[in-house]
Amino acid sequence: MRVTNNMTFERAMTSFNQQNSRIYDLQGQLASGVRLQSPDQAPVDAVRVSRLDSLNERMGQYQENINLVNHRLGVEEDSLRNITNLYQRARELTVQAGNTSLPTESREAIATELEARMSELVDLINTKDSLGNYVFAGYDGRTKPVELEPTAGLGRVTMSGGAVQHKVEVGESRDVVVGDHAAATVLRTDSASALRSRADAANTGTAEMLPAFISDETAFSGDTLTIEFVAANTIDVRDSGGVVVAAGITVEPGEPVRFAGVTTSFDGSPAAGDSFTIEPGLRKDSFGVFNQMIDALRSGSDDQLTEAVDRTLTDFDGLMSTVSTATARLGARLNSLESQNNSLEDYVLRTEKTLSSLRDTNFAEAATNLQKEMAVLQAAQQTLSLLQKNSLFNYI
């Protein structure tokens, strides 16, 4: 085949363009620090880089979740510590109340401080995290866990929130529990003196009964009691056999009412015929513990106060044990989060190293290749120049 000068020039220009493209590519790698300028340069490596980038993004989200959960659990941990201190102070006040020689003024001072501690407990239970969620509300972090309604003699507390806990994903197939429920975590303890109260489903009035507590052990039989409103403000009390154990007791909303060794109070508007039941229970809430001590300090005899002190000390010990268990579980979760975060950091570091080997420029190699390509281009250009100058006349 005849090779013309035009064909030689076209082939040379094609080669120069390819050479220049490689040079520009190497210059881009050196300028940006990125080896993979486009997927077509190394399709297999580009796919691997895309997958690793997606994985790193997920790991980053897990780390953000861990930071949020750490903060929330940290707030809860501080609250549990303060609740423990509060129970300890309440226990100390109960021990002081055990001195039956205290004058009435001192008993009232102890009762007043116990009321203040009960209000403080409500504030601690209603603690929020940085996002405005209640840390002791269970799954529904927007619902206030506890509402305290001061009455004429006792504190009436309403507890809300969901017992189901919320879970946050912090790793591949790994999550952590947040959103403890106050009732299960810090507000209830097993108690031999616990009572359970409930309203009859057929009640037509709006009355609600405060959780009852034993105020006189010698008068309390341990039997189930039925309270019936024979009028809008008058009750009769019957035992499980239907025998009337107290009759014609006047009830004022919010005022303590006592019968058969038990103290409670009613709120709202009862209707004649409404009934409520009090029976032995298994668990006692902390507000009932405070109420039984406050009531004994203000209304009980020396013997009733002594009995209340014994019950209350046992109950506060149980409550502190409940908080201690909750704190231990919380600590285990925090330790697990720390371990998971360390694992994620190690994983991200390894992934970044792999990404760097696939995507980033090897500056020494790129600089050497650039020099080589430029030398090849220069030599090719000089060769073409010499070929263009040659003719037959040079050999005549």
What's the pLDDT tens digit per position in 361-396?
555 555 565 566 565 556 555 665 655 555 544 545
Question: For residue 37, what are the CA distances in angstroms to 20, 30, 44, 79, 358?
Answer: 16, 11, 14, 53, 12
Looking at residue 393, its pLDDT comes to 47
Looking at residue 32, its pLDDT comes to 55
Question: For residue 214, what are the CA distances in angstroms to 191, 207, 293, 309, 368?
Answer: 12, 21, 10, 12, 90
Phi and psi at residue 140, in whole multiples of 5°? Answer: -90, 85
Task: Please check the confidence at residue 28 and state whether its pLDDT lies above 90.
Answer: no
CA dist 185 and 136 (Å) reads: 8
In sequence order, what are the beta bridge partners of 258? 263
Q: Which two tokens stand for residue 208?
A: 């609600």
Q: ∠ at Cα 274 (268, 275), nearest 5°?
A: 105
The three-state secondary structure class of 6 is: helix
CA dist 34 and 361 (Å) reads: 5
Average pLDDT over residues 17-44: 56
Task: Please check the confidence at residue 139 and state whether its pLDDT lies above 70.
Answer: yes
- Residue 285 belongs to what H/E stretch? strand 283-285
Q: Tell me which amino acid residue 117 is.
A: R
pLDDT bracket for residue 175 (50, 70, 90): confident
* Chain position carrying tokens 């881009």: 28
| 69 touches 176 (CB < 8 A) | yes
Work out the mean pLDDT of the chain and round it to a whole number: 82
The three-state secondary structure class of 154 is: coil
Residue of higher predicted confidence among 228 and 47: 228
Q: Which two tokens stand for residue 180?
A: 């403890």
Question: For residue 228, what are the CA distances in angstroms to 79, 93, 215, 233?
Answer: 41, 36, 20, 10
CA dist 241 and 224 (Å) reads: 9
Q: Tell me which amino acid residue 102 is.
A: L
Count of other CB atoms within 10 angstroms of residue 81 = 13
300-316: b (≥16 Cβ within 10 Å) or e: beeebbbbbbebbbbbb
Residue of higher predicted confidence among 105 and 139: 105
pLDDT bracket for residue 39 (50, 70, 90): low
CA dist 170 and 344 (Å) reads: 9
